[in-house]
A and B are shown apart, each in its own frame.
Chain A
């Protein structure tokens, strides 16, 4: 056996000022050339573990470390982060903050420049790595004009230019839209075939884990299980208990009672045939009938767009002649790539933006006449990043902000804050400092602070981004409860499974236009149009497709299995 390229021995780490250990006795060895995926719930210590490999821990962060990390014979304790950069490359989640040059070429040159690499060699590395990630055409552009996905590709190229032996990526795709995700994953698929590079990627997308050699599962600073990909992904129960999203296909077959679980749609199809399973058409029709009936009940229009176009100052035509109706009591999803116009559309619903052509009516009145202050009361808008709105020292004050501005009485404010916090599951935490909460906690505070003004409509811009699977579930379950209690919900998301499981109806946008709308099931049955918008249904939906149906969840399919009700 060859020596491991990275080894962590009894690593314990605690951030300064924290009571609990972020890493609690980690022992892990990476083999030369392997691709390991690190998964687990939020706050499990995944990013902390990743940061130990290039020495950001212990050198950059404040805290106490025990044990040792050895990378290619170097103890990280004895080498500065900058020195480690020669052998360990690091790509971060935040693609904005990790780029600092005014030009794509120079961004790639920055690393080699620091190691006094010869200019000719730098030029060669720029050429090589930009073509590797597919950014040659953008080489003279400023990074700020690139899309999120291109920025992340550039970050990868700029790190590869240092010719590292180990590449660590900390949630490289979390903030990206589906097509950009695919682009970045496509690069990682090529990287993992290179045997001169060892890959460690922290990731939430279970479908992507299929490409890894091994998966390490973490929770509470401990490694729960490290094993070959197939073995880990087949352990549906363990994944679920850790708050990691299990794949739909093994989940389905596990419920059927199969031992040797298929993972991919291909394998699933084969297994389905081998087992001679059958879907009952009668049950399937029943599901769609119920769905249609439920939607047909909602006829009172709440938001109406009539030939809505929006052109930004500077000439970007972000919306083109959009006409749509959203009815009272609905729960609809808006999906599409970044730049397709989703957020621009949603910002018309609460009057943040006004149509440059056409009209938007809310409660039968044009938004132009109502203004943001008044509209904001009936149409609540939760922005994507909770840190863009939280400013108070106490959760109570944050949530009370909106009702106070709207001059409610003190008694009423108290009631509303209590109600809103109860709705988001933060009752009793009025006195907490919102900045000490986790991302999902802050997200909830943001939702509560919008709920507190009792809106009829709630718009959520990517409410699940940056949350782990169980947090995403509980966030969306909460949103669904609000919907059942009478609120109309509009959400924008990149997570297709969230759409599949929670939306009743959807709009697919591309280049400022709605190219597909309808019941969620109808939308997901149009694979071709979705692909045209660069969207991809979850594996499980694709699998059901190939059987000739559109099932949104494993549970649904299970209930329609022939003989399931015997």
Chain B
């Protein structure tokens, strides 16, 4: 079963130096957080959309589409309830609060997207090596990569386990919400137990291959910054600097918005 997050596409984004990708990831966060007006978020959104399509990460977003839809709907409602403005539209909703809710929803979806682009286009090892080269300790990096690695494992065992329990008559699709939550117990326990069991073996295999045997360590993967890397990095920095300039100059706000 195909449950890997990394997509073996070899796109332009895949070929970028992981350090550049990590820096862009962080810069994107800054750029997203600067404005509260959705119009001003359009440029970064366009850039992210381009990356999504170039890298092929849309495929992964499609996998989590239900989560995204639920998040979008609930965030649109909640931010409207937690803010208000002068131009009343209907019920408790004003033009300002609507704009703000849209911006906050965009913020969330864009953050998820940019994270997805990073992990869809960067191998686990590249990501970790990149982080380490940027100053993170090896063991911390390894822990993060292990956590990422567990996701597909858990996903595929969950599929098998739910089939096994459905064969025994477990019906996950009916009943009240509390009954349904109770029904997840027969899924959760085996998922936990099998995950714990496999992480135990994972630990043994890790040590048996000399993990932490010495202070120093070679990294087989080596990256060199190419022309494309420098260009992309420079452009990204310029973009964020420009965004910061506009934000400080007072652009990108929503006039008349009152937040609670």
Check B169–A82 contact: CB distance below 8 A. Answer: no
Check B205–A98 contact: CB distance below 8 A. Answer: yes
The yes or no answer to A233 lying at the interface (CB within 8 A) is no
Question: Which residues in chain B, 195-227, are within 8 Å of chain A measured between CB atoms?
Answer: 197-199, 201-214, 216-222
The yes or no answer to B170 lying at the interface (CB within 8 A) is yes
When chains A and B are docked, how far (Å) is the Cα of A92 from the Cα of B205?
A: 8
When chains A and B are docked, how far (Å) is the Cα of A314 from the Cα of B63?
A: 13
Check A116–B216 contact: CB distance below 8 A. Answer: yes
Check B204–A60 contact: CB distance below 8 A. Answer: yes
Q: Mark B143-182, 1 if CB is under 8 A from A, else 0.
A: 0001001001100010011011111111100000000000
Task: Name the prevailing secondary structure of the B interface residues.
Answer: helix
Check B170–A405 contact: CB distance below 8 A. Answer: yes
* Apart from A54-B208, A60-B204, A383-B164: 18 A-B pairs, beta carbons within 8 A: A81-B208, A82-B207, A85-B210, A86-B210, A88-B208, A94-B198, A106-B123, A110-B209, A116-B217, A116-B218, A162-B209, A352-B166, A373-B166, A389-B165, A389-B186, A401-B169, A405-B171, A453-B169
Residue of B169, B198, B201 near A402 (CB, 8 A) is B169
When chains A and B are docked, how far (Å) is the Cα of A31 from the Cα of B170?
A: 55
Check A405–B168 contact: CB distance below 8 A. Answer: yes
- Would A102 and B160 be within 8 Å (CB), given that A377-B169, A402-B169, A405-B168 are in contact? no
Chain A nearest CB, measured from B131 CB (Å): 15
Chain A residues positioned under 8 Å from B125 (CB to CB): 101-103, 106
Q: Mark A228-246, 1 if CB is under 8 A from B, else 0.
A: 0000000000000000000
Question: Which residues in chain A, 123-161, are within 8 Å of chain B measured between CB atoms?
Answer: 123, 142, 144, 155, 158-159
The yes or no answer to A90 lying at the interface (CB within 8 A) is yes
Residue of A81, A103, A372, A388 near B190 (CB, 8 A) is A388
Chain A residues positioned under 8 Å from B64 (CB to CB): none
Check A83–B201 contact: CB distance below 8 A. Answer: no
Nearest residue (CB) in A for B170 is A405
List of 6 A-B pairs having minimum Cβ-Cβ separation, nearest first: A391-B189, A98-B205, A85-B210, A82-B213, A114-B210, A109-B220
Question: Which residues in chain A, 41-96, are within 8 Å of chain B measured between CB atoms?
Answer: 51, 54, 56, 59-60, 80-83, 85-86, 88-90, 92, 94, 96
Chain A nearest CB, measured from B43 CB (Å): 33
- Give 11 CB contacts A-B under 8 Å: A51-B204, A99-B205, A100-B206, A102-B6, A113-B217, A352-B167, A381-B164, A383-B164, A391-B186, A391-B190, A401-B168
Choose among A56, A159, A373 the residue with the greatest number of B CB atoms under 10 Å from its CB.
A373
Check B218–A112 contact: CB distance below 8 A. Answer: yes
Check A142–B4 contact: CB distance below 8 A. Answer: yes
Check A388–B218 contact: CB distance below 8 A. Answer: no
Check B217–A96 contact: CB distance below 8 A. Answer: no
When chains A and B are docked, how far (Å) is the Cα of A113 from the Cα of B220?
A: 7
When chains A and B are docked, how far (Å) is the Cα of A106 from the Cα of B145?
A: 14
Check A114–B211 contact: CB distance below 8 A. Answer: yes
Chain B nearest CB, measured from A383 CB (Å): 4
Residue of A56, A376, A385, A406 near B166 (CB, 8 A) is A376
Residue of B164, B209, B216, B219 near A389 (CB, 8 A) is B164
Chain A residues positioned under 8 Å from B2 (CB to CB): 314
The yes or no answer to B55 lying at the interface (CB within 8 A) is no
When chains A and B are docked, how far (Å) is the Cα of A119 from the Cα of B219?
A: 8
Residue of A97, A103, A112 near B201 (CB, 8 A) is A97
Chain B residues positioned under 8 Å from A389 (CB to CB): 161, 164-165, 168, 186, 190
When chains A and B are docked, how far (Å) is the Cα of A142 from the Cα of B126?
A: 14
Chain A residues positioned under 8 Å from B206 (CB to CB): 100
Check B213–A90 contact: CB distance below 8 A. Answer: no
Question: Which residues in chain A, 345-367, are within 8 Å of chain B measured between CB atoms?
Answer: 347, 350, 352
The yes or no answer to A23 lying at the interface (CB within 8 A) is no
Chain A residues positioned under 8 Å from B220 (CB to CB): 105-106, 109, 112-113, 119, 122-123
Nearest residue (CB) in A for B157 is A388
Nearest residue (CB) in B for A56 is B204
Chain A residues positioned under 8 Å from B28 (CB to CB): none
When chains A and B are docked, how far (Å) is the Cα of A546 from the Cα of B152?
A: 48
When chains A and B are docked, how far (Å) is the Cα of A347 from the Cα of B162?
A: 13
Chain B nearest CB, measured from A315 CB (Å): 11
Check A122–B190 contact: CB distance below 8 A. Answer: no
Check B201–A80 contact: CB distance below 8 A. Answer: no
Nearest residue (CB) in A for B216 is A116
When chains A and B are docked, how far (Å) is the Cα of A415 from the Cα of B161?
A: 27
When chains A and B are docked, how far (Å) is the Cα of A450 from the Cα of B221?
A: 50
Nearest residue (CB) in B for A381 is B167
The yes or no answer to B193 lying at the interface (CB within 8 A) is yes
Residue of B149, B161, B199, B204 near A92 (CB, 8 A) is B204
Check B202–A100 contact: CB distance below 8 A. Answer: yes
Check A144–B152 contact: CB distance below 8 A. Answer: yes
Nearest residue (CB) in A for B215 is A116
The yes or no answer to B86 lying at the interface (CB within 8 A) is no
Nearest residue (CB) in A for B142 is A100
When chains A and B are docked, how far (Å) is the Cα of A80 from the Cα of B213?
A: 8
The yes or no answer to A272 lying at the interface (CB within 8 A) is no
The yes or no answer to A117 lying at the interface (CB within 8 A) is yes
When chains A and B are docked, how far (Å) is the Cα of A390 from the Cα of B192?
A: 11
The yes or no answer to A173 lying at the interface (CB within 8 A) is no
Chain B nearest CB, measured from A112 CB (Å): 7
